[in-house]
Amino acid sequence: MGIKEGLSTREEFTNGIEQKERLLEGKVAVVTGTSRGIGAATAKLLARHGAIIFGLHRDPGKEGRANDIVGEIEGQGGIMYSSVVDITKNDQITQFTRRLGTDFGVAVNIVVHNAAGGLERGATDEDAWNINNLAKQRLTRSLRPLLASRSLVIDITSIWSTHYGEVPPLEDYEPVAKSKLEGERKLEVLVSFLKIVQQKNIGFGVVCGHVISDTATYRLMELRDRRRPEGEVKTLDTLRATAYNRQFATPSDMAAAVLNLATVDQLPDSPVYVGVDPEYLRSLTGREPVQIQENMFQLRRRD
């Protein structure tokens, strides 16, 4: 496992965000699954706002793609360190967090659990349980001594996992949905425990997406739809009925929700929903959706 060196000094951004507008200047964020999709978009957006990114990805074969993300961030004056870390392996997690503490001496302000799995060819239910549930807990525990006095842990989920059992299941997605829901629940409990034990202000937030374009799940559904017989209803066409404006959100939309959670004064008592039709959200939760941005909602706070 290697950590790619980032910039030693910060240059002015050239992408329109001025110094005074950077919302996370000097903050440290650990983001998993940064070689593509939501993880890459999140790393880029947080870096644009001044955060120092430590990005993790599991597959050494994706190192070139991950380094491209680093290069893009560095080209805009940001800082990102990229590491090949299989978060299902205890020894690799320990090695990463040890280097983070000894070589960099940083306090971690934000942890974004984006990495997920279980749909890959040959993946088992156990694989899904490990990456979507156990690995999140292990990484969070390992980062415990490095968490800043005020920090935030964010879990990236979908309505099919957060509301598992309440929404019609996706094809072959049940092991993923069950394990992600368990991971979300256990992570919230763990963060509450660490908040007491560490005597730190550690928050917990959830970004819950509808179908997100340009992700592994989306591409799999797209492939299956292309293979369906002519005249058979396409899964993506059906799912558009419950998407905001009948359009699927993007990884950048999910990243914007992460930024929102990382910068609000008070965390919501519900997930931040991305790309979900508000009427569908109201019927699903029985609570009033409150619009934050174009296709981003949270639920009205309980009394």
- Phi then psi for 208, rounded to 5 degrees? -115, 115
What confidence category does residue 14 fall into, taking pLDDT thresholds of 50, 70 and 90?
very low
* Domain carrying residue 51: 19-299
Supply the pLDDT for residue 171: 85
263 neighbors 225 (Cβ within 8 angstroms): no
Tell me which amino acid residue 257 is: A
How much is the pLDDT for 18? Answer: 53
Q: Is residue 9 part of a domain?
A: no
Contact 268, 204 (CB under 8 A): no
User: To 10 degrees, what angle do helices 63-75 and 37-48 make?
Assistant: 20
In angstroms, the CA 35 to CA 219 distance is 16
Task: Give the CATH number, domain containing residue 120.
Answer: 3.40.50.720
In a domain, 89, yes or no: yes
Q: Identify whether 1 is part of a domain.
A: no
H-type alpha helices, 80-201: 90-99, 125-129, 135-143, 159-162, 174-197
pLDDT tens figures, 62-92: 888 899 999 999 999 999 999 999 999 999 9
Q: Label residue 7 by pLDDT band (50, 70, 90).
A: very low
CA separation for the pair 31, 43 (Å, rounded): 7
What is the pLDDT of the chain when averaged over all its residues?
A: 91
The residue among 11 and 67 whose pLDDT is bigger is: 67
Is residue 161, in this structure, part of any structural domain at all?
Answer: yes
Q: Tell me: the pLDDT tens digits for 149-173?
A: 999 999 999 999 999 999 988 888 9
Closest CA to 186 of 210, 165, 219, 161: 161
The predicted model gives 118-123 an average pLDDT of 87
Domain assignment of residue 70, yes or no: yes
Q: Which of 284, 285, 128, 298 is nearest to 217 (CA)?
A: 128
Residue 11 lies inside a defined structural domain of this protein: no
10 confidence band (pLDDT: 50, 70, 90): very low
Mean pLDDT computed over 267-275: 97
What pTM, to 2 d.p., does this model score? 0.92
5 pLDDT above the threshold of 80: no
Note the pLDDT of residue 20.
53
What percentage of the chain reaches a pLDDT higher than 70?
Answer: 93
pLDDT digits (tens, 9 = 90+) for 165-219: 999 888 889 999 999 999 999 999 999 999 999 999 999 999 999 999 999 889 9
16 pLDDT band (50/70/90 cuts)?
A: very low
Our count of domains for the chain comes to: 1
Residue 7 lies in a domain: no
131 domain-assigned: yes
**Strand pairing report for 108-113 and 289-293:** unpaired
